[in-house]
């Protein structure tokens, strides 16, 4: 599963786009919702670890074992999470991996949201031919199965983090575009826009001042879920061998663990921690994202 | 003979802030063959009252009453199995069919047949189909339309189909909740005629709920007026809508909202203000802050339903009544 | 309805054509010609090089290349795999069969159990069971499928030894009867199926739950209860029947997700299906196989979308007759 959570209710029913009390109000509501609170707390912790972790336990790529006994050790006082097949400390890799995974997730999400919002707003504003063309392209990309596409592109372009970010964004922007489009269509129908037109505000002006702010709240809620999906996607791609071997993301660690037979031999300290890391981060962003969606759409809250 | 007896019915919705008393101590009777109307603004609790009697309120609503009996069966304590069996056979409901009261993925005929087969399971398929056809004809719909889906019918037709379905098991009492709302005036008139005709022909007892007094004036033998969860006036339709007019200031203002064809000059007026917050109802008479005739005594004591002098069975809950009575004595 | 199917079929054909074009673009127009890519690091004899060049028609202009390519496909010629030293077509066909075994069973389980659990949660809305199912679904969705596979192998195959570690059949096994063969297959199927189901079921639980909750507050549910129908009939014939519609829509998106799950599960469990095939083709840089796999995956998803659209039309009379 490499895509963001499917939420058919938000996709087909546009929301008001406004939260009582603006940013602060949204934050307040987020904190008062239990799921949002927990998610936010975990995200904050993870971000902290991403920054501070490498300082506390610096990951030295060159610190490999000097003898046979140093490799694949189970946890001990010297190495709290044991060592890998080259004798490297796993705890430090996990800590270092935090920032790598987050970084990729965030950058990929940024690009996804930029493309998706642009396409969605343009399609929803211009409607007609532009909308039809954009939506056909969007639908086509939605139909293409994402993982095979990412694999194919990865194999052709070559392994690098930039490639991973590119392919994740390429397969994620369509669903954002659809969501933004239906919201943009709804905003367009509002009286404010009609009045702005009569007053003589240019199309660009309306787009920038009315439509964009109207979809922003939804974009943000969606973006949080996209972060979750992107982190999962990167982990999957790295696991399948398309990641950058020189940067330790959690997915890359799991790839190393798998190909060195950690599973078959029962070296649980190698493949458990990175996986747990992924689950925690993805879950945290999902909680926040779902909570935001509920804040934006009271109907979802009623159904929750 | 009394068919439905309700005594001191109250419905409360507990929320995180306060208890909302949607219905606050209602007494109501419907006799066999009688058409009773229940009037009031939106939010006054009339639909809640109907759903409470039929025990169809969602969970979360707290219903209490000294009595809710339908022809001898105590609806408060009846077991689920028996309740389900008496549904539709003794008590059926007509909702606003024009909205989404029909299952959109099931044919109209099947939905009517479903009711028949549930309560008369031994009926064979041919007879059920015939019955469905007859019911539809009765309300002026061609029997072939039983194959239609709800979205293929117009609002008026759906409302008629809803009525046909309500009569499927030959109930003793039919409760109709806003049967003509959301329909255009022409269709409204047709539906009213239909209901009137059916009530007469079949000798049905009906409880008709509407915010539209003109609808009730046409159809009902007796009318009750609700305000803020309480009944403020009840009596024969002829008395309330007749020359003597209503006894309660609220009913009078309600009537003034509707233009009359026969009267000479006059002005249509709304009622200033808005209905009270049911979580924190005002002290005394709940209408006092919108009533032009309010006297100081209206804020202190809750007026009970008192007999209107010179009438039979016409009651109104107005402090002024007792003042008048006192003066006239 | 016939007109609708006709239109959808036309759209289907166009989409498949677009998929072919995309496939062609991906694998043939990337920098450097395909033969160079393939030859990179591989020792190819003149015969293999010649075969490849002819398959790709590299001496011809692009549009002709594309037409040649499509012609090859229609003839069933998917190219030559130098890692397997045989035609790609049969390899893919065999792998597809193995994948279908895994996918069919897990999809059935996901949909059936997902909807049932979702309905169960909705009917107990507000209780701890409901809350637990929602949180549980969120947690399970956050699990990487391949990691779940690894955990399952570690716990049930390595530590407890109850089930086989990998593969579709026990290596070099002899089966006295068909039944023993099926039994062995079944033993090997369990863990991969569980891995696929655990993550994907969450989506269906959440969608059917929220869909049913929305339906439960509709007026026609009150009408159904008022008619004195049994609670079971009210829930299923009136509630679930309407709540299924968004679930059907979800299945079309699910097809794409299933492909992702298949690739991950087959890789971890060494299940000899399309997923493992595409993974190995990446490892070995066997572009013809990769290309064929991508094509098959894409077309299968497109077909699944088509089927789901048609199914939706059948279930919802409001759109059926337009």
Q: From the CA of A206, how many Å to the nearest CA of chain C?
A: 34
- Closest partner CB to A147 (pick from C144, C210, C263): C263
Cβ contact C225:B91 at 8 Å: no
- SS3 assignment, position B232: strand
| Same-domain pairing of B196 and B259 | yes
Number of domains, chain B: 2
Using only C-alpha atoms, chain B has a radius of gyration, in whole angstroms, of 21
What residues in chain B have per-residue pLDDT under 50?
Answer: 327-329
Torsion angle of the four alpha carbons B209, B212, B218, B223, in this order, in degrees rounded to the nearest 10: 50
β-partners of residue B231 are: B226
Tell me if A180 sits within 8 A of A217, measured CB to CB: no
Contact C150 A263 (CB under 8 A): yes
* C7 touches B at CB < 8 Å: no
* Domain identity same for B107 and B231: no
Q: Which residues of B touch C229 (CB under 8 A)?
A: 84, 114, 118
Categorise residue B170: left if φ over 0, alpha if ψ from -120 to 50, beta otherwise.
Answer: left
Residues in chain A within 8 Å Cβ distance of C124: none
The pLDDT score that the predictor gives to residue A1 is 35
| Distance between CA atoms of residues A93 and A58, nearest Å | 9
**How many Cβ atoms are within 10 Å of B312's Cβ, its own excluded?**
9
Q: Are residues B131 and B181 in the same domain?
A: no
Q: Report the half-sphere exposure of B70 (CA within 13 A, side-chain side).
A: 25
Take residue B133 and report the two structure tokens written for it: 């056809």
Half-sphere exposure of B281 toward its Cβ, with a 13 Å CA cutoff?
22
Do B189 and B74 belong together in one domain? yes
SS3 string of chain A?
CCCCCCCHHHHHCCCCCCCCCHHHHHHHHHHHCHHHHHHHHHHHHHHHHHHHHHHHCCCCCCCCCCCHHHCCCCCCCCCCCCECCCCCEHHHHHHHHHHHHHHHHHHHHHHHHHHHHHHHHHHHHHCHHHHHHHHHHHHHHHHCCHHHHHHHHHHHHCCCHHHHHHHHHHHHHHHHHHHHHHHHHHHHCCHHHHHHHHHCCCHHHHHHHHHHHHHHHHHHHHHHHHHHHHHHHHHHHHHHHHCCCCCCCHHHHHHHHHHCCHHHHCCHHHHHHHHHHHHHHHHHHHHHHHHHHHHHCHHHHHHC
B178 with B269, same domain? yes
Tell whether B141 is covered by a domain: yes
CA distance C257 to C251: 10
What are the φ and ψ backbone dihedral angles of B174, each rounded to 5 degrees? -115, 125
C231: closest chain B residue by CA: B84
> What is the distance between the alpha carbons of residues B225 and B245, in angstroms, rounded to a whole number?
13
State whether C158 and A264 contact (CB < 8 Å). Answer: yes
> Is C228's CB within 8 Å of B151's CB?
no
The pLDDT assigned to B40 comes to 83
Same domain? For B78 and B56 the reply is yes
CA angle A158, A161, A167 (to 5 degrees): 70
Half-sphere exposure of B40 (CA within 13 A, CB side): 27
Q: Give residue C43's Cα distance to chain centre.
A: 35
Phi-psi category of residue C32: left, alpha or beta, with phi > 0 → left and psi -120 to 50 → alpha: left
Interface confidence (ipTM) of the complex: 0.86
Residue B197 lies in a domain: yes
Q: Give the Å distances, CA to CA, from C263 to A170, A237, C100, C201, C266.
A: 19, 11, 12, 17, 5
B19 and B146 belong to one structural domain: no
Q: Which residues contact B116 (CB under 8 A, 6 or more apart)?
A: B123, B128, B131, B132, B168, B169
User: Which residues are bridge partners to B35 per DSSP?
Assistant: B206
Site from A138, A140, A145, A281 to mutate, C interface, most C CB atoms within 10 angstroms:
A145
Q: Do C294 and A264 touch (CB under 8 A)?
A: no
Asked whether residue B252 falls in the same domain as residue B122, the answer is no
**Same domain flag for B42 and B70:** yes
Which residues in chain B belong to E strands, given as ranges?
2-14, 19-31, 35-39, 62-64, 67-70, 73-74, 91-94, 173-177, 205-210, 222-227, 230-236, 306-307, 315-316
DSSP SS3 for B300: helix
Within-domain flag for B316 = no
Cβ count within 10 A of residue C61: 8
**What confidence score (pLDDT) does residue B329 get?**
39
Distance, CA of C97 to CA of B239 (rounded, Å): 83
- Residue B252, domain extent: 2-90+171-275
Give the pLDDT confidence score for residue B265 in this predicted structure.
62
Residue B260: both structure tokens together: 């009359």
Q: Tell me: do B40 and B120 sit in the same domain.
A: no
Q: Which residues of A touch C257 (CB under 8 A)?
A: 1-3
Whether residue B124 sits in one domain with residue B83:
no
B312 part of a folded domain: no
A303 contacts C141? CB cut-off 8 A: no
Residue B33 lies in a domain: yes
| Alpha-carbon gap, residue C80 to C89, rounded angstroms | 8
Cβ-Cβ pairs closer than 8 A, B with C, add up to: 71
Spans of chain C, pLDDT less than 50:
322
* Three-state SS annotation for B152-180: HCCHHHHHHHHHHHHCCCCCCEEEEECCC
- Contacts with C145 from chain A: Cβ below 8 Å: 1, 236
Asked whether residue B160 is assigned to any structural domain, the reply reads yes
Mean pLDDT split into 10-residue runs, chain A, 304 residues:
42 58 74 84 89 73 66 74 80 86 92 93 85 90 89 84 91 91 83 75 74 83 92 93 86 91 86 93 91 73 49
Angle (deg, nearest 10), helices A268-296 and A250-259: 150
- B116 located within any domain: yes
Of B129, B144, B166, at which residue does a domain stop?
B166
DSSP secondary structure letter of residue A58: -
> Both B258 and B189 in a single domain?
yes
End-to-end CA distance of chain A: 23
- What pLDDT score does A8 carry? 38
**Helix, strand, or coil (residue A131):** helix
CB contact under 8 A, B149 and C316: no
What are the structure tokens assigned to C304, written together? 């699944």
pLDDT at A58: 67
pTM: 0.80
Picking from A145, A170, A164, A149, the residue whose alpha carbon sits closest to that of residue A241 is A164
Give the per-residue pLDDT at C152: 92
Residue B239, domain CATH = 3.40.50.300
Residue B181 included in any domain:
yes
- Nearest C-alpha neighbor of B103 from the set B142, B161, B170: B161
> Which residues make Cβ contacts (< 8 Å) with residue B72, sequence separation at least 6?
none
- Given B231, B250, B275, the domain boundary residue is B275
Closest CB to B56 among C226, C237, C315: C226
Do residues B305 and B227 touch, judged by C-beta distance below 8 A?
no
Q: In the prediction, which pLDDT does C268 show?
A: 93
CA–CA dist C255, C106 (Å, integer): 12
């Amino acid at each position: 599963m490499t895509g963001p959570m499917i939420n058919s209710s938000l996709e087909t029913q546009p929301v008001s786009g406004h939260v009582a009390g603006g940013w602060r109000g949204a934050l307040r509501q987020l904190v008062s919702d239990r799921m949002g609170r927990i998610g936010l707390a975990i995200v904050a912790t993870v971000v902290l670890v991403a920054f501070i972790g490498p300082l506390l336990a610096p990951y030295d790529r060159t610190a490999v074992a000097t003898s046979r006994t140093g490799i694949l050790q189970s946890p001990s006082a010297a190495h709290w999470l044991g060592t890998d097949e080259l004798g490297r400390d796993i705890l430090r890799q996990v800590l270092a991996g935090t920032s790598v995974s987050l970084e990729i997730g965030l950058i990929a999400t940024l690009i996804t949201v930029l493309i998706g919002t642009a396409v969605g707003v343009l399609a929803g504003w211009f409607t007609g031919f532009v909308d039809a063309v954009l939506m056909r392209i969007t639908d086509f990309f939605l139909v293409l199965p994402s993982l095979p596409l990412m694999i194919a592109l990865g194999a052709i372009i070559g392994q690098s983090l930039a490639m991973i970010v590119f392919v994740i964004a390429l397969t994620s922007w369509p669903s954002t575009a659809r969501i933004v489009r239906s919201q943009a269509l709804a905003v367009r129908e509002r009286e404010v826009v009609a009045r702005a037109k009569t007053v003589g505000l240019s199309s660009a002006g309306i787009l920038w001042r009315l439509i964009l702010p109207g979809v922003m709240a939804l974009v943000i809620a969606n973006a949080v879920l996209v972060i979750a999906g992107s982190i999962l996607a990167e982990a999957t791609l790295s696991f399948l061998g398309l990641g950058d071997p020189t940067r330790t993301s959690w997915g890359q660690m799991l790839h190393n663990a798998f190909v060195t037979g950690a599973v078959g031999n029962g070296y649980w300290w190698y493949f458990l921690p990175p996986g747990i890391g992924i689950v925690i981060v993805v879950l945290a962003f999902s909680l926040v994202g779902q909570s935001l969606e509920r804040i934006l759409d009271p109907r979802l809250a009623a159904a929750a | 003979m009394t068919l439905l007896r309700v005594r001191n019915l109250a419905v409360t919705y507990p929320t995180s802030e306060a208890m909302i008393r949607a219905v606050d101590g209602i007494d109501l009777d419907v006799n066999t063959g009688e058409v009773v109307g229940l009037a009031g603004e939106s939010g006054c609790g009339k639909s809640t009252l109907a759903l409470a009697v039929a025990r169809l309120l969602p969970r979360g609503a707290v219903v209490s009453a000294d009595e809710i009996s339908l022809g001898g069966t105590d609806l408060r304590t009846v077991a689920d199995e028996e309740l389900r069996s008496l549904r539709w056979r003794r008590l059926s409901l007509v909702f606003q069919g024009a909205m989404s009261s029909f299952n959109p993925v099931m044919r109209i005929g099947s939905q009517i047949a479903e009711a028949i087969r549930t309560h008369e399971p031994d009926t064979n398929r041919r007879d059920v189909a015939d019955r469905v056809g007859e019911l539809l004809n009765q309300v002026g719909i061609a029997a072939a339309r039983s194959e239609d889906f709800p979205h293929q019918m117009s609002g008026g037709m759906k409302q008629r189909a809803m009525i046909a379905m309500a009569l499927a098991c030959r109930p003793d009492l039919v409760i109709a909740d806003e049967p003509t709302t959301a329909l255009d005036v022409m269709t409204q008139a047709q539906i009213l005629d239909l209901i009137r005709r059916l009530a007469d022909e079949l000798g049905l007892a009906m409880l008709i709920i509407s915010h539209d007094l003109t609808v009730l004036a046409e159809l009902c033998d007796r009318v009750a007026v609700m305000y803020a969860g309480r009944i403020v006036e009840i009596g024969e339709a002829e008395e309330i809508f007749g020359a003597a007019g209503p006894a309660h200031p609220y009913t009078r203002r309600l009537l003034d909202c509707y233009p009359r064809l026969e009267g000479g000059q006059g002005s249509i007026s709304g009622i200033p203000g808005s209905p009270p917050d049911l979580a924190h109802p005002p002290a005394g008479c709940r209408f006092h802050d919108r009533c032009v005739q309010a006297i100081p005594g209206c804020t202190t004591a809750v007026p009970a339903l008192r007999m209107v002098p010179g009438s039979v069975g016409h009651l109104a809950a107005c402090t002024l009544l007792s003042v008048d009575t006192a003066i006239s004595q | 309805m016939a007109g609708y199917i006709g239109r959808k079929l036309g759209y289907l054909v166009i989409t498949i054509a677009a998929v072919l074009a995309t496939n062609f673009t991906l694998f043939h127009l990337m920098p450097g010609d395909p033969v160079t890519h393939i030859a990179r690091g591989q020792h190819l004899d003149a015969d293999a090089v010649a075969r490849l060049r002819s398959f790709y028609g590299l001496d011809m202009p692009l549009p002709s290349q594309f037409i040649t390519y499509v012609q090859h496909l229609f003839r069933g010629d998917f190219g030559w795999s130098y890692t397997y030293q045989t035609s790609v077509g049969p390899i893919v066909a065999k792998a597809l069969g193995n994948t279908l075994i895994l996918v069919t069973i897990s999809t059935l389980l996901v949909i059936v159990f997902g909807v049932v659990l979702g309905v169960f949660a909705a009917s107990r809305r507000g209780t701890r069971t409901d809350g637990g199912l929602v949180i549980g679904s969120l947690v399970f969705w956050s699990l990487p499928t391949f990691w779940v596979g690894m955990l399952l192998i570690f716990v049930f195959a390595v530590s407890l030894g109850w089930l086989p570690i990998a593969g579709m059949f026990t290596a070099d096994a002899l089966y006295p009867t068909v039944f023993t063969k099926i039994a062995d297959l079944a033993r090997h199927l369990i863990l991969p199926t569980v891995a696929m189901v655990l993550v994907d079921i969450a989506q269906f639980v959440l969608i059917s739950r929220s869909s049913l909750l929305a339906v439960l507050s509709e007026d026609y549910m009150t009408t159904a209860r008022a008619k004195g129908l049994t609670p079971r009939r009210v829930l299923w014939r009136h509630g679930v029947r309407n709540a299924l519609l968004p679930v059907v829509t979800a299945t079309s998106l699910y097809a794409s997700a299933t492909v992702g799950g298949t690739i991950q599960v087959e890789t971890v469990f060494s299940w000899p299906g399309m997923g493992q095939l595409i993974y190995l083709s990446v490892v070995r840089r066997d572009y013809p196989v990769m290309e064929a796999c991508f094509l098959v995956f894409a077309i299968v998803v497109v077909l699944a979308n088509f089927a789901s659209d048609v199914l939706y039309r059948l279930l919802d009379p409001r759109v059926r007759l337009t």
